[in-house]
Amino acid sequence: MRTPPEITEVRQVAKTRLFEIEQVELKFSNGVETDYERLAGAGGAVMVIGLAGADDDRQIVLIREYAVGLEQYELGFPKGRIDPGEKPETAANRELTEEAGFAAGRLEAWGEVTVAPAYASFRTHVFLATDLHAATAQGDEPEPPEVVFWPLEDARALLERDDFSESRARLGVYMLLDRFTHSR
């Protein structure tokens, strides 16, 4: 197993309200020294895969919201950042409430994923939310997301949609398929 490089210096290059860009100077065990830049975000993020309805008629809770990076509306799962000092479970229920109008009676942690780990330091905590009940809270979105219910039995069809392209959301569908097609 390789020894990780020595971090000789980390300095902030730029900062926005959401991200910090850091320059990281590294020295590898073979003597090579180089600089990397990375996005750093405080606390990470959550993504919530909500299931509503009875066992024989489960519905996936999705939201449709504007994705400025793609300049279009995207369908996906409720998600958002973890506030400083907030636990991932608390953030998951908060985001589900703010974006979809539900709170979870039960939250199950499904693990953590990264997106572009060579360039970003934050992680997304994935949760399954069940035993949902109506709840509302004011979110930080400029317009309320549209809530969309999708039959669990048709989950695979989400993967064919042009407006369902985000990698974390697509992973969430595969996790659902793995969990619910093997448990029947």
51 & 20 share domain: no
Q: Is the pLDDT of residue 142 over 90?
A: no
Would you place residue 108 in the very low, low, confident or very high pLDDT band (cuts 50, 70, 90)? very high
Among 31, 33, 61, 19, CA closest to 158:
61
| Average pLDDT taken over every residue of the chain | 92
Q: Is the pLDDT of residue 157 over 90?
A: yes
Element (H, E) at 98: helix 88-100
Number of domains in the chain: 2
**Residue 36 is assigned to a structural domain of this protein:** yes
**Residue 1 is assigned to a structural domain of this protein:** no
| Residue 15 lies in domain | 6-40
- The pLDDT of residue 1 is 86
Among 172, 182, 181, 160, CA closest to 63:
172
CATH code of 119's domain: 3.90.79.10
Q: Is the pLDDT of residue 2 over 50?
A: yes
Read off the amino acid at residue 181.
T
- Rounded Cα distance, 148 and 32, in Å: 51
- Rounded Cα distance, 80 and 46, in Å: 6
**Residue 160: CB partners within 8 Å, gap ≥ 6?**
none
Q: Is the pLDDT of residue 41 over 90?
A: no
- The pLDDT of residue 184 is 44
